[in-house]
Amino acid sequence: MPKSGPKTDHIAWSDLRVALHLGREGSVRGAARALGVSHSTILRRIHTLEQAAGTELFVDRGQGYETTDAGQEVVDLALELEDRVIALERRVAGHDLRPAGPVSVTIPDPFAPILVPVLGDLSRLHPEIEVTVLLGTAYVDLAHRAADVAVRTTFEPPPDLVGRRVGSAGVGIYGSAAYLDGRATDDLTALDWVGWEASSSMFFAKWTVENIPSERVRLRVSAAWGLREAIDAGIGVAILPTALGESRPGWRRVRVFPEMAAPLWILTHRDLRNTTRVRQVRDYLVAAIAERSAAFEGPPAA
């Protein structure tokens, strides 16, 4: 990065965004990936920003980039501006009355077998709405418009989100019929297990750590599709939402935990609650989940 020098230009928001992402990621590669641009574009934009600021903002430490004191001030300012720009975008989008356009929906990936077909039906009924499904186990930041609608299990939604509780998400233990055939299941610690990655903050990961000896966990995964593959392969059993466990052919239920059921919500940011296309997607999901409440809640305890 260039050393201090005379100011040559004004500071552009587009360059501040690059600095923000470089500060967040700590690497040019990470910032380029986050912004969808090339490695050289990041370096060029940072060079332009440093020339405009008249000082060095980032230092290459070989293993990554660190902010100078001035650079940290720039990153902090860019973060404030990003929050304001996103808030403005949300408010403008909130006045959009067109029943068309893009809507992104974030779904916990264990619910994908039920809800991906539902959203496919929505796209056929309303082809003017461009639906993108974001699958994962981490909460997506609706305040920063990482998604427009969230299907989420939570006991208390954040105050900036609005929506409806649409039921409960049940929890159970499942394994393949081939693995469980002939095995006693009274003692859970005598079974082989598939767990979520140990560093995960997910409830299922914490439960496994607290209740199952680590030597009984044969494999850990970071996504529901990996867990499905592991159970299908007969590696062991796992604790997961009944919405996934009850939908898989060839799986057998070991037990359910009604006391672990979590409220299921459809949420959006309050600034988008009146956006027509967002409301249509939200209302469609509310109705679809209500029709499939038994699948989400799971069977009663035996």
How much is the pTM?
0.66
The CATH architecture annotation of domain 171-260 reads 3-Layer(aba) Sandwich (3.40)
Domain spanning 13-93: CATH 3.90.1330.10 = no
Cβ-count burial of 196 within 10 angstroms (0-12 exposed, 13-18 middle, 19+ buried)?
buried
Same topology between domain 101-169+262-297 and domain 171-260: yes
And the tokens for 191?
């079974």
SS (H, E, C) 162-213: EEEEEEEECEEEEEEHHHHCCCCCCCHHHCCEEEECCCCCCHHHHHHHHHCC
Phi, then psi, of 23 in degrees rounded to 5: -65, -40
Class of domain 101-169+262-297 as given by CATH: alpha beta
- Coil, helix or strand at residue 59: strand
Residue with tokens 């040019």: 28
Render each residue's pLDDT in the chain as its tens digit; 302 residues: 444 444 445 677 778 888 888 888 888 888 888 888 888 888 888 888 888 888 888 888 878 888 888 888 888 888 887 777 766 665 665 555 566 788 999 999 889 989 999 999 998 988 999 999 998 877 788 877 778 999 999 988 888 888 899 999 999 999 999 999 999 999 999 999 999 886 666 788 889 989 999 999 999 998 888 999 999 999 999 999 999 999 899 999 999 998 889 999 999 988 887 788 888 999 999 999 999 998 899 887 76
140 contacts: CB under 8 Å, gap ≥ 6? 106, 134, 146, 147, 150
Domain boundaries defined on the chain:
13-93, 101-169+262-297, 171-260
